[in-house]
Chain A
Amino acid sequence: MNRLQWNTFFARQPALFALVLLVLSIVINLFFQPNMFAPGTLNSNMRVFLPIILLAVGQAVVILGGGIDISVGGTVSIVNAVLATQVGLDGSPQDMWKFVFISLLIGLLAGAINGFFIAYLRLQPIITTYATSFLYGGMALFILPNPGGGIPASIASLYRTSTPLNLPVAFYVIAIILLIWLYLSSTRFGKFLFAVGGKAEAAYETAVPVPVVHFSTYVISGFFAALAGIAITMLSGSGNADIGGPMTLNSITAVVIGGNPLSGGVGGVAGPVMGAITLGIIQNIISFANVDTWWETFVKAAIIVLALAAPGIVNLFRRRET
């Protein structure tokens, strides 16, 4: 194949770039953690990665539709605060499942608020969700002013230790998400999503219900943010209203290194899932590489910026060659 064919091949398979990065990071990680694929280690890694994976899936759908959702971290925080205060460390499982259900409704509502302002009032996605991220983050802090509370240990361990068929729960979640995505992208909604993300005006002129599609992407993102909030609460077992804030940028980074451009209309969900896992493995590598504690924040942030820059750097070289 000549270079042009390679380029179109890569352009048609955006997840391929993510796959290469994922394999690369796994190989490096194997040096530090040779037992990486042992069931116990695999599970303890995947249960940490799952919240960001879920968040990245929701973010990917919004970005595919040509938007962005900065408020996902705030939604995660609200869900965490609600579960930690309403269920409590000595709550019953029934309470837990009741509030898991309520959390999902909260996520849908948070997404619907974003969607209403962006799709129907036609506000800019970035600044709108930035504003709502303060609303949601403030709400979480209002519910849970100081870190504390939690969920029953039995339920937390259900998330941490259950491995049906010796495979981490995260694998089943990912499989379900990918199957749903596979179906969804072949439906009319899937085609509309790509059309709207590619060029909203053109989609509008060909009778695509642009506001409905935009609105639904934010609702989906809010729903996944709630799932991520439930997952991270089960992982940590405790409440902290600041837990979601730093996760927003990670979810966007996962989407970008997953091969979906921020301009929208291109990509899928498999890439961002791999991007999120890659991001998690990179964090693993940093902690194994014995980076000086004072440097850790800097190194992590620098790697995120480099990851965000990677597609741009590749493009720069590509343009120079042709």
Chain B
Amino acid sequence: MKRISISPPVAALILAVVLFLLSGLLPNGFGSNLDVARAQAFNILRLAVFLGVIAAGQTLVIISGSEGIDLSAGSVVTLTAILTYIFVNGADERVLPALLIVLAVGALIGFFNGVGITFLKISPFVMTLGMAGVVTGAIIVITHGSVTGRVAPMMTRLIARPLSPDLQIPNAIIIWLLFGILMWLLLERTTFGRNLFAIGVNRVTARLSGVNVTGMNLATYALAGALAGFGGFLLVGNTGVVHLQLGQPFLFPSIAAVAVGGTLLSGGKGSYWGTMAGAITLTLLTSLLTTMQMPESVRQMVLGGTLLILISIYGRQRSLRQ
């Protein structure tokens, strides 16, 4: 009997479509009204953009293997969103410098993660969890609990609004598509990407084949931090307000999105397309639960359960008996 195999990104997309159609059947869903359905689809895609961008860095560190993971992503998103908010303060000409600053801050935090993991041999999970605490502490020090600032009109125009009135696609989605192409190029068409998969499969063979494993590890975590920073920048551009818990709710879904997309949590295999599909699926799942008026606790349990089921399907380790 031939087994039918569907690649995980496609499976995730099919699941997303099914979830979307299901959400239409809810009492307060879109029903048979196509215009409402389209508007809702774009709305969910726009929400998925932020999860997708934050999960991009997560994809990189998870592909790099050796239990790679970035638990500081949530607090980095909050920090960079707040920094953008304070620094831009409503001025269009400060948007670009703000973007550069948050990319640098994110990269620096990621670099520290990399140093702890590579040189001090702290497990990535524990190191980045500790770093999340440090970044949260830094946020409290910087803000003293309250933030004053404003996003610039240009950011809202570039991120939240559609390109033109005729084309009802929010710009964030277009940015995400371009971003996805860049991520694909990075993973599939550069030396960095090739080396990333190589160290993900086996660090020893990668080193013996001339890959600078230490440098790759540092660069991967720094890049993941910078991408989380970019996520924070986009997020604040969309919401227009910040609070001290802005990024935290994205952390667990960002890891789950990577897993849904078929990237192996043990590293060495995966794609950003998969993560994009995963981000859409998880955003749909969350919004479905919100529409059904499920409390936060149920949402948490569903997310945890989803990840558990997914890793039971994709994430089995080799059996002891060989």
Contacts and interface: CB of A to CB of B under 8 A. Distances in A.
Task: Answer whether A and B are interacting partners.
Answer: yes
Interface string A276-298: 00000000000000000011111
Given A210-B320, A300-B133, A301-B137, A132 B304 contact: yes
A294 to B, nearest CB: 6
B126 A249 contact: yes
A171 interface: no
Contacts of B266: 124
SS of A interface (majority)? helix
Interface stretch (B14-22, B26-34, B114-122): B114-122
Given A142-B301, A298-B134, A124 B123 contact: no
Interface string A114-144: 0001000111101110111111011111100
B120 A312 contact: yes
28 contacts: A70-B125, A121-B312, A122-B316, A122-B317, A123-B312, A126-B123, A127-B69, A130-B125, A131-B308, A135-B304, A137-B300, A138-B301, A140-B297, A200-B320, A210-B320, A249-B126, A253-B130, A262-B123, A295-B137, A298-B134, A298-B138, A298-B141, A302-B137, A305-B131, A305-B133, A308-B120, A312-B122, A316-B120
B265 A124 contact: yes
A270 to B, nearest CB: 21
B307 interface: yes
Interface string A132-162: 1111011111100100000000000000000
Given A121-B316, A124-B265, A135-B308, A298 B137 contact: yes
Given A241-B297, A312-B121, 14 more contacts: A123-B311, A124-B67, A124-B266, A127-B265, A134-B301, A137-B304, A145-B295, A210-B320, A249-B126, A249-B129, A253-B130, A294-B140, A302-B134, A308-B126
Interface string B242-284: 0000000000100100010000011000000000000000000
B225 to A, nearest CB: 15
A164 to B, nearest CB: 37
A294 B141 contact: yes
A139 B297 contact: yes
Contact of B304 (A133, A249, A299): A133
A299 B137 contact: yes
Contacts, number: 154
A141 B296 CA distance: 8
A62 interface: no
A141 B302 CA distance: 13
A132 B309 CA distance: 11
A204 interface: yes
B144 interface: yes
